Amino acid sequence: MPSTHQVQEAFPAVDEMRLDDFAALFTPDGTMTFGNGEPTVGPEANKRALGDFYRLLQGVRHEVRGAWIVDAEPGPRDGQEEELSRGWTGA
C-alpha cells in the first residue's frame, strides 16, 4: 500500500513527465489503471503505459484535493478515476 509521501511524489512525477521517477515508486507487482482500462503491472509496464499516454497530449497537470489509499485488487473500474492502490516501494 502506498504511503502518503509516495502519493505526493507520484503526481509531480507524472506532471513533469519524469517516467523513471514514477516507475521507481512501484514494486514488481504494483498496479496502475487508467480510467476503465486494463491494469498494468510492475514498474516497466506502468512506465510504458504512462509514456504511451504522454504521446496523446502536450502536457498534464494534476491538482490533488484528496487521496484515498486503498488495498484494492486490480480490475476494470466504472468511470474515470485516478487510483493509486497497491505496489509501491518502501516509504
- What digits encode the pLDDT tens for the residues 61-82? 878 777 777 665 554 443 334 4
- What digits encode the pLDDT tens for the residues 30-45? 899 887 889 999 999 9
Half-sphere exposure of 34 (CA within 13 A, CB side): 12
Indicate the domain borders of the chain.
Answer: 4-83
What predicted TM-score, i.e. pTM, was given to this entire model?
Answer: 0.68
C-alpha grid cell for residue 14? 507524472
Instruction: With CA atoms as reference, report the closest residue to 50 among 77, 25, 79.
Output: 25
